[in-house]
A and B are shown apart, each in its own frame.
Chain A
Amino acid sequence: MQFFGFHLMPYPYLPDEHRRSRDSTWVTLSNRHFDPARGHQLYQRYLAELVRYDQAGFDGICVNEHHQTGYGLMPSPNVVAGLLVPQTRGKIAILGNAVSLRDHPLRVAEEVAMLDVISGGRIISGFVRGIGAEYHTFGLDPTQSRERFHEAHDLIVRAWTEPGPFEWYGRHYKLRYVNPWPRPLQQPHPPIWSPSQGSAETVDWAARNRYTYLQTFSDLGTIGRAFSEFREAAQRHGYTSSPSQLGWSVPVYVAGTDTEARREARVHLDYLFNTLLRMPRDIFFPPGYLTLRSAPRVMGAKRGLGAGPVDPDDLLERGFALAGSPGTVREQIDRYASELGFGIFSGVFQFGSLGHEEFERSVQLFASDVMPALRGAATTLPG
């Protein structure tokens, strides 16, 4: 088992009137609610927490990209990764660059290659489309999201692996000269991860390309289904996938006892799921962002993300988050790993409004009392 520590860098100071409202925390929540002075302190703390994962013996740390929201203060994961390179020794997983949102995917090819060369080959490159809300943010046609993603990915991988200059003439990008300096250090290119909530198209794409698939924000049933589909897709594409190609990303809170852990986790899960992730469904899933096959199910669902408040206890029951004593959390991860077949565990130890002291204690307990026992199932990262 490989362990990663993920940080979303949430803004914990949203005013009570917003928390009590039904208003979106994405796209339209006024940035007058962002206090730059408190933001300065927050960034220092969050960067230190990411470094803490590395010091505590995690295999790597994870950062991601989101825009115009109190959910996360990382519009540029590459900037954060750049700050962390000199302060860490393990892997840095960028999960991911939202390549479809970029005017120019070559900028991602360049930035990730820079980070890979500077870090001595410690970068894992995640590629995502960006969530639906971000198509509102950038005024980008959501119906073109998948096409842009695939073309941008193909262009970036080719730019990393084929000596330039060469011409790229695609539907969305037309370039006379593709020839980025620097090229990545890892050969043929940094490992590529595909974070997703389990869309059938993404699962198949990741399996076909032999990438690592990371399941985020899902219940155990969805995770099990997606991982099975991944293994089946791998067989269909002519190989047997390895557990090291499957990762589970989940908020985790470890405390002295189960009761204490669950009591404290509830408060911050409530803030994460019912305030930070709150947005109307038509902002979450703009027209054409989902395929016509999956849109009716998601848009017509009576529950699920974008459909109103959720109960933190229910989230814990269904595996959206883990909270417990070290023994309980260890037993859960061990059991789910053998049931679901994943070899990468990515814990979000700071979530919602969880404070620094709680984070410290939780990470410490996890590193000393959870991780070592589970190392037995160690797998190696592909490529």
Chain B
Amino acid sequence: MSERELLVRGTRVRILTAGSGDPLVYLHGAGDLGEWTPALSALAEHHAVVRPDHPGFSSSDDCPDIDSVHDLAFFYLDLLDELGLDRVTLLGSSLGGWLAADIATIEPSRVSKLILVSAAGLRAAEPVPDMFVLSAAELAELIHHAPDARAAAVAEAQQRADDPAAFGRYLRNRAATAHLAWNPYLHDPKLPRRLHRVTAPVLIMWGRQDRLLPASLARQWSELLPGARLEIIDDAGHLPLTEQTGAAVAAVQAFCEDGER
């Protein structure tokens, strides 16, 4: 894995890259603190993986012009231009899934495949927890399913305040998320009417035990994106790529190879 900086119309963005093959841009979620993960390594066995920190998150600069996920989607089109990537697979998790779907509605031809993992962006029919009233530890408890993973994540969240760098990153990322998704909460009411523009094959992936964004949202996405493939991952909460890396990456890979036939 290598790390580089890219200047996108005046905003410095940190990008992690690895692997070779068709380009796959990974759009991270709100709770991501900028790490390279085992899932990314697994994806890099088949793809040239590009993983930016969104502007305002982790080691990327702030971009004061960005006030919404829609603004961020336009920023990413500039980022793809800067990287010289005409057409990519977009894989977005949570907040990143919402972003990926939005990009695919603006310039559908730039997206060869669209993979939405526990994607924010739509409003659930049932009440959902408010991530912005929860502490780091409460949130860690909520998004993980397996007891071991849950306990480890809670412990890490509780210790984060003792690590100034990590704590500062957490607080900045959380503020950046609030700026994008405070109200309307984690969704764009206009997105459903734009999704018909998506032309790429779509994979919708959800953890069956997601308690932050319930799996019923996967059905909503399926209805709005007819023909999308739906993968519900067992024994996984909000982060199936983390909790069930093998199964989740295998499902992504099967979807990508399917499209190539």
Q: Does B36 count as interface, using CB distance less than 8 angstroms?
A: no
- Tell me if B133 and A141 are in contact (CB < 8 A): no
- CB < 8 Å: which of B132, B161, B164, B167 contacts A287? B132
Interface centre among A139, A143, A286, by most chain B C-beta atoms within 10 angstroms, is A143
- CB < 8 Å: which of A27, A143, A280, A281 contacts B178? A143
- Tell me if A287 and B174 are in contact (CB < 8 A): yes
A-B contact pairs, 29 of them (CB 8 A): A27-B133, A136-B132, A136-B133, A139-B182, A140-B182, A141-B178, A141-B179, A141-B182, A142-B175, A142-B182, A143-B175, A143-B178, A280-B135, A282-B132, A282-B133, A282-B134, A287-B171, A287-B174, A287-B178, A288-B174, A292-B168, A292-B171, A292-B175, A295-B175, A296-B167, A296-B171, A299-B171, A300-B162, A300-B167
Given contacts A282-B133, A282-B134, A283-B133, contact A143 B179 (CB under 8 A): yes
**Chain B residues with CB below 8 A from A140, complex form:** 182-183
Contact residues of A: prevailing secondary structure: helix
Q: Does A87 count as interface, using CB distance less than 8 angstroms?
A: no
- Tell me if B135 and A282 are in contact (CB < 8 A): yes
Given contacts A283-B133, A287-B132, A296-B168, contact A141 B174 (CB under 8 A): no
Q: How many A-B residue pairs have CB under 8 A?
A: 59
- Tell me if B171 and A295 are in contact (CB < 8 A): yes
Q: Does A144 count as interface, using CB distance less than 8 angstroms?
A: yes
**Chain A residues with CB below 8 A from B171, complex form:** 287, 292, 295-296, 299
Q: Does B177 count as interface, using CB distance less than 8 angstroms?
A: yes
Which residues of A from 99 to 144 have beta carbons under 8 Å from B? 135-136, 139-144
Interface size class of A (residues with CB under 8 A): 20 to 34
- Tell me if A288 and B183 are in contact (CB < 8 A): no
- CB < 8 Å: which of B162, B167, B175 contacts A288? B175
Q: Does B197 count as interface, using CB distance less than 8 angstroms?
A: no
Q: Does B172 count as interface, using CB distance less than 8 angstroms?
A: yes
State A295–B169 Cα separation when bound (angstroms): 11
**Chain B residues with CB below 8 A from A300, complex form:** 161-162, 167
Interface residues of B (CB under 8 A from A): 132-135, 161-162, 164, 167-168, 171-172, 174-179, 182-183
Interface centre among A142, A287, A299, by most chain B C-beta atoms within 10 angstroms, is A287
**Chain A residues with CB below 8 A from B164, complex form:** 296
- Tell me if A142 and B178 are in contact (CB < 8 A): yes
Known A-B contacts: A143-B176, A282-B134, A288-B179. Give 14 more (CB < 8 A).
A136-B132, A141-B183, A142-B178, A143-B178, A143-B182, A280-B133, A287-B132, A288-B174, A292-B168, A292-B171, A292-B172, A295-B175, A299-B167, A300-B162
Which residues of A from 133 to 187 have beta carbons under 8 Å from B? 135-136, 139-144
Interface residues of A (CB under 8 A from B): 27, 135-136, 139-144, 280-283, 286-288, 292, 295-296, 299-300
State A56–B107 Cα separation when bound (angstroms): 71
**Chain B residues with CB below 8 A from A281, complex form:** 135
Closest 6 CB pairs of A and B: A288-B175, A300-B161, A287-B178, A139-B183, A287-B174, A143-B179
**Chain B residues with CB below 8 A from A144, complex form:** 179
| Chain B proximity of A93: nearest CB distance (Å) | 32
State A300–B137 Cα separation when bound (angstroms): 13
